Structure 1
């Protein structure tokens, strides 16, 4: 009788081990903390990039409590998102990588895992991009979704795959802790490095536009019917000027809209910057007006009440 023997393929170095229930728990935890780290880093980069745009920060105990509450909310959202994303996306992609390698008789290497991540990212780009194109959207959605999906998926999947290569469960949970610490450290280094870059002038933080008298001449509107017309001879005419109770920026006691004419001027402030001063009786008089926006789209605004409330009455060029 003929006897058939099948040689078992030797496991290549770095291939995943057999993973039990506890091991998959460690893998899920690693994927979750990796996604949390990615989300935290994205939040830090978004904050630092926002410093290049117009922004204002409140001060005081109430504001600091609000910032602390925001940090807690962001941490909770990132934690829940990481836990769900690891179970719904990272682990299935890792299983797909292991299954596809077995079906093709290949070793499930890091390169193979990256290729599977690329295929999943491409599928996500097609699913998001094709409907967008059919609805008349831009074709740039395809490469943007592809890049975002791959960069968001690949690090988490590779970290989770590393857990399946380790044999001992204790080492697997230790790797999850290492990923958590590494993600937090990377976000902290990025945050401190970004602040240093702004502080040393390597990156340019937002500065309000410096407008000449000629650039100020014209009509400015609040978008609700209120206008302020500035003439080259220094006269100003206000019509229905003042914040409305329906404004998003409205706070405090009701304001009465004002009408009238007067003067306007600009000059150096005590801090050395240029300030705008309006001299129309009863119409937000004085040097409290400030410049905002950009050189191309400047704004004039006036703080409503305490500046820490961040409530502003804003005029745009008509």
Structure 2
């Protein structure tokens, strides 16, 4: 596997700098780790995007102008963004895991490659615990993901170390970044072809919105900005800071832009199986507010049967202002 630099009793040799690279060896290995980390990022980004397509697109199109513009920007910025992102991943995850593995392998028996992978998993779990404390991310999902992100860089770093020992000299900048480029393109194409095949064969299923009855829709729906839409079983509705279709437009814009409003008050609601405005074929809730705050608004049913959502798209269809309400648990 090429983990020879982490065997027992080799600390003195490292201190004397008798390995390829000498005093600059840590920087050479950091460069190699960053290159391998960067190589996997485009494929991971594509895999994430493919996964999002199996979820709710909230009535949008995955191939709109905004997506094409975003892809163009990513391609233009990739030569700068990818090396920087790879370096950050290497500093935060791969280098600490490598240092931990060196300490463990000098004191405990067992294959060095296993300790390196276990150390990578441990550092990933530590970062997962931190994200759970700061942002509430689920550790059970985040820890395996972060651990998996460290496997390829750990193996790649071992490969470059082995090459350095065979050649007797450290790997130069282009000696690691050119293979990283080829590996990145290969991984991206493999994920792309795999995604196409998964879609054709039905492994990645098309999203189907939940079908909810009026009884299931009754209850409180909230967003993260303080809006509360209370749908009562008798057809009455109570609104607190709920965004509705505006009646006021900014005439200084060309074409005039709607001025989004948040409304309080009472009104009515009913379950509809078709959008009265013809924008969606999904079921939804038509909310009418008593008073002059805003026009009636069709909240489309989305999410899943376990975690249903109501959403509406305001403004420009190509760049809408998406608002989502989620059911109280």
Please state which band the TM-score falls in when normalised by the shorter chain: 0.5 to 0.7
Where do 5+ consecutive residues of structure 2 fail to align? 6-17, 132-136, 245-256
Give me the whole-angstrom Cα distance separating, in 1, the residues matched to 2:260 and 2:146. 50
Q: Does 1:188 align with 2:194?
A: no
* Counterpart position of 2:213: 212
CA distance in 1, matches of 2:269, 2:113: 67
The aligned residue for residue 312 of structure 1 is 322
Which of the pair has the greater relative contact order for Cα pairs under 8 Å at 6+ separation? 1
Query: Does residue 82 in structure 1 map to residue 76 in structure 2?
Result: no
- Asked whether the equivalents of residues 93 and 116 of structure 1 are also in contact (C-alpha less than 8 Å), the reply is no
Deviation at 1:231, TM superposition (A): 3.5
Residue 36 of structure 1: how far off its partner (Å): 0.8
Match of 1:167 in 2: 167
Instruction: Give the corresponding residue for 2:12.
Output: none
Q: How many equivalent pairs are there?
A: 285
Q: Which has the larger radius of gyration?
A: 1
> What whole-Å deviation, never above 9, does each CA across 1:84-114 have from its counterpart, x for those lacking one?
666898689889999999x99xxxxxx9652
On the 8 A contact 2:28/2:171 being kept in 1, the answer is: no
**Residues 136-147 of structure 1 mapped to structure 2, 5 A cutoff:** 144=144, 147=147
1:54 corresponds to which residue? 56
Structure 1 counterpart of 2:286: 278
Separation (CA, whole Å) in 1 of partners of 2:95 and 2:287: 66
TM-score by length of 2: 0.61
Cα deviations by residue, 1:5-44 (Å, 9 ceiling, x for unpaired): xxxxxxxx998996358x9688665443211112333333
Deviation of the 1:49 alpha carbon? 2.8
Residue 206 of structure 1 aligns to a residue whose secondary structure is coil
Q: Which residue of 1 aligns with 2:300?
A: 290
Partner of 2:259: 253
| Mapping 1:26-175, distance limit 5 Å | 30-56=32-58, 61=65, 64-70=68-74, 72=76, 76-83=80-87, 114-115=113-114, 117-118=116-117, 120-121=119-120, 124=123, 144=144, 147-148=147-148, 151-167=151-167, 173=174
User: Within 2, Cα distance between the matches of 1:84 and 1:36?
Assistant: 10
**Structure 1 runs not aligned, ≥5 long:** 1-12, 105-110, 245-250
